[in-house]
A and B are shown apart, each in its own frame.
Chain A
């Protein structure tokens, strides 16, 4: 029996399963290759480059969370920098005031930001589209001032912020502190991406997308809009918070003005550049928001934001669906060419 005969004799369902299996192997291979490359970074790069790549991982976590909310669920947030800052401060306070170990901050931040995001999401349910954007915008505006507020200064350090000690390398591990922290962030990035991937391909992800596509039909399928929208907000805030906590560990310092409105907008830029409603787009977006401002500054010190703006417009012009959109289009062209060649 020839290969084509075999394919034709499959039922459509079986053929689809087979294609899916093939796609899955390719996908897993791709992920493994990227992880292997990522593991090499701290050994090839300088300590500064390792630090930069650590921030790429951190932004990737925040971007994935924001993309679940904005891209997959269709709720626009201009205030995710606030949750990023909240996570950073919770971690800093735990370490600075209570002397708790750095790793213990992550689960605490995750749970608190999940709850915080859920609670913010509940009243925000009544707001659609632009109105929700404005509500989250106010959150982003208020955050730095809340952190500086004198009544909380005893905990937050006021406008001075808080200094936290460097992450210790476990005994017997032959790595520098920067390298160890990089691997700690890499491990968490993998965990957070796995969670995001699992969520989006399951019943939950389908409900999240259904709400964006057709809310009326989603309700008549039995999807509880209020619950899913608030929970999605919570999950998204959890991602931002975890990323914020990691950024505090990496910078060894938190200050109120690092979590201003500009951070929220950068995160939005990141998901659009990477690709709205994609999981892997978060990585490309993170590379963009970490490196493009630096590169722009290299090109022109006095007009770096103008260069940044031009780069952004160029990106959007060349890849209107983000980096992942471009990759998908190229893949479509290649498989189309293969099909027509065969």
Chain B
């Protein structure tokens, strides 16, 4: 099951010395690591370790007080937040952030926004260019809806759906932007056993089918260890381990972070 990382791959994403402070609290303390193209990288750590903070730096929701984030030739911290999608980073949210009044299909379609060109004028006049673009996006949204088994609910408003289904809608929406890097913030949170198994196969097929790089924040240890090529562990804002899942699992600092100090 475990795929090895292609050796000569350039890193797609490089965190360099990222620090974030909220008032007097240091949420991230000089965190550096790399994610290679095509890798699935798991980010673990106890609650409050700084995992979601790191994600939010990458989506430009928080501004780090120091450091840099290189992604595919871009300095992320120099980009406006709305440009992040266009350079190829898609994400899901820990507590779901769907467009509540829209149907499943419209949510997924909204994910294609960063690929589109039509604007106020072309849409207002319904020019052929706008309609062609729309049709193309509708087709790709429908493919993703089928890929994630959402056909039966595609016209329903997302607010009517159970939690696990909504998580798949969010994943489909993130995929609709055709990202090079997908950020998954606790995708297994709130899912039952079966759904987690399904999620695992989805994550694998993301890489195989879409050649996607995945950065995954997750508490579900079993999932992280089975799905990741590499795992980075954070504790109190600092990186305490970085390596193959098998190595991280037996790292004494990681064990201590999760189980407390051994006597």
The interface of chain A, by Cβ under 8 A from chain B, is 12-13, 16, 195, 198-199, 202-207, 209-210, 212-214, 216-225, 231, 235, 277
Contact = CB atoms under 8 A, between A and B. Distances in A.
Contact of A222 (B82, B120, B154): B82
B100 A214 contact: yes
21 contacts: A13-B142, A13-B146, A198-B125, A199-B120, A202-B130, A203-B112, A203-B137, A204-B119, A204-B124, A205-B123, A206-B106, A207-B110, A207-B113, A210-B99, A213-B100, A213-B102, A214-B97, A217-B99, A220-B59, A221-B85, A224-B82
Nearest to B170: A217
B86 interface: yes
Nearest to B60: A219
A221 B126 contact: no
B197 interface: no
B91 A220 contact: yes
B217 to A, nearest CB: 15
Nearest to B106: A206
Contact of B130 (A195, A203, A214): A203
Contacts, number: 104
Contact of B154 (A12, A212, A219): A12
Interface of B: 59, 61, 80-86, 90-91, 93, 97-102, 106, 109-114, 116, 118-120, 123-126, 130, 133-134, 137, 142, 146, 151-152, 154-155, 173, 177
A214 B98 contact: yes
A221 B111 contact: yes
A210 B107 CA distance: 8
Contacts of A210: 99, 102, 110, 113
A203 B154 contact: no
B84 A198 contact: no
Contact of B109 (A16, A206, A225): A206
Given A203-B116, A217-B99, A231-B120, A225 B130 contact: no
Contact of A202 (B83, B100, B123): B123
A214 B169 CA distance: 15
A199 B80 CA distance: 25
Contact of A195 (B85, B124, B146): B124
B104 to A, nearest CB: 11
Nearest to A224: B82
A219 B97 contact: no
A199 B102 contact: no
A199 B154 contact: no
In this complex, the member of A13, A199, A221, A231 whose beta carbon has the largest number of chain B beta carbons within 10 angstroms is A221
A195 B106 CA distance: 20
Contacts of A212: 101
Contacts of B134: 202-203
Nearest to A213: B99
Given A195-B124, A203-B118, A222 B130 contact: no
Contacts of B59: 219-220
B3 to A, nearest CB: 28
A18 B119 CA distance: 28
Contacts of B116: 203
Contacts of B101: 209, 212-213, 277
A205 B126 CA distance: 12
A205 B113 CA distance: 11
Given A207-B113, A213-B99, A202 B126 contact: yes
A8 to B, nearest CB: 14
Contacts of B109: 206
Nearest to A216: B97
Contacts of A220: 59, 81, 84-85, 90-91
A322 to B, nearest CB: 15
B61 A221 contact: no
A80 to B, nearest CB: 19
A220 to B, nearest CB: 5
A231 B124 CA distance: 13
In this complex, the member of A13, A217, A277 whose beta carbon has the largest number of chain B beta carbons within 10 angstroms is A217
A202 B137 CA distance: 11
Contacts of B123: 198-199, 202-205
Q: Closest 4 A-B residue pairs measured CB to CB?
A: A222-B114, A222-B85, A202-B123, A217-B97
Contact of B120 (A16, A206, A235): A235
Nearest to B59: A220
